[in-house]
Amino acid sequence: MRSHEIDYRIIGEDIQVVEIELDPNETVIAEAGAMLFMEEGIQFETKMGDGSQPNQGFMGKLFQAGSRLLTGESLFMTHFTNRGYGKRKVAFAAPYPGTVMPIDLAKIYGNQLIVQKDAFLCAALGTQMAIHFNQRIGTGLFGGEGFILQKIQGDGMAFIHAGGVVMERQLNNEMLRVDTGCVVGFEPSISFDIQRSGGLKSMVFGGEGIFLATLRGTGKVWIQSMPISKLVDRLSPGGGQARKEGGSVLGGLGNLFED
């Protein structure tokens, strides 16, 4: 096994935390600022890159770390290592309320997982983080957060954060249409695209958005009920009220077009 083998437990329900138990010399990598607490004996170091290729040259590390800037993440990652003699714990909290998903990459198709750009929380050392461009032009123009994704690769545990409740769906040569911001991640065997939500009237007055994410193929898909973009929209002045009135972004004008 290339990745470090770590033990963990998920704490909480609505706002979850992942507590990871490290044996001596075991390491977990995490996004900067995600650490909640760490016990005596845990040492942390900020490094450029994920540490999955220790013999990689400086330019390779710089390119790998620089690609993270395109996803809106920090150039650096924090490595937490147990330098003590016994088991020690370190915990990580997500940046906003939601669910922490433990993913065993060894059980994922191709040992790879494609996730939204802000979904990664932490993982066992040996896990590789890379940028993943969706090459479909429709996704690039209209997908927003669906255009630039992250690819997580390895054979150990990775922890993904999502907003609200998370649903896992198994597609068997099927198609699923989802709100563009509600896709957390999917296996690489799944095709991801952005398509129109329907006819002109439905697109303008339906309140479901002009475009929807289309997931097609065979594999696992994870969906979140409350992405951070939707939460911010609801909390912003007039954000929720506009949707209540007429069920669309045009407010009460939508009622003029009812059948």
Query: Would you list the DSSP string of 111-169?
Result: GEEEEETT-EEEEETT-EEEEEE---HHHHHH-GGGTEEEEEE-SSEEEEEEES-EEEE
- Note the pLDDT of residue 181: 82
Lowest mean pLDDT among 51-55, 156-160, 234-238: 51-55
The whole-number average pLDDT for the span 135-156 is 65
Give CA separation, 255 vs 205, 206, 238, in Å. Answer: 9, 11, 19
**pLDDT bucket at 242, cuts 50 / 70 / 90:** very low
Q: Would the pLDDT of 149 be above 90?
A: no
pLDDT > 80? residue 207: no
Q: Which of 37-51, 176-190, 235-249 has the lowest mean pLDDT?
A: 235-249
Cβ burial, residue 259 (10 Å; 0-12/13-18/19+): exposed
pLDDT over 60 (residue 80): yes
Q: Is the pLDDT of residue 55 over 80?
A: no
Least confident of 66-70, 103-107, 221-225, 240-244: 240-244
- Specify the range with the lowest mean pLDDT, choosing from 2-11, 79-88, 242-251: 242-251
pTM to 2 decimal places: 0.77
Query: Highest mean pLDDT: which of 106-120, 141-155, 194-208?
Result: 106-120
CA-based nearest residue to 145, from 166, 162, 128: 162
Closest CA to 152 of 133, 168, 134, 130: 130
pLDDT confidence bin for 257, thresholds 50/70/90 = very low
Q: Please check the confidence at residue 245 and state whether its pLDDT lies above 50.
A: no
Q: If you average pLDDT over every residue of the chain, what do you get?
A: 77
Distance CA 173, CA 219 (A): 8
CA of residue 109 relative to chain centroid, distance: 17
Q: What is the pLDDT of residues 23-49, one digit of tens each?
A: 999 999 998 889 999 999 999 998 876
Please give the pLDDT value at position 227. Answer: 80
Q: What is the mean pLDDT of residues 195-217?
A: 64
Q: DSSP string covering 36-97, please?
A: EEE-TTEEEEEEES-SS-TT--HHHHHHHHHHHHTTT--SEEEEEEE-SSS-EEEEEE-SSS
Chain segment 211-229, per-residue pLDDT in tens: 788 899 999 999 998 887 7
Name residues whose C-beta falls within 8 Å of residue 100's C-beta, 6 or more positions apart in sequence.
10, 16, 17, 18, 94, 121, 159, 160, 161
What mean pLDDT do residues 223-244 have? Answer: 67
* pLDDT above 50 for 161: yes
216 or 207, greater pLDDT: 216
What is the total residue count of the chain? 259
Q: Quick count: other Cβ atoms within 10 Å of Cβ 12?
A: 12
Share of the chain above pLDDT 70, in %: 65
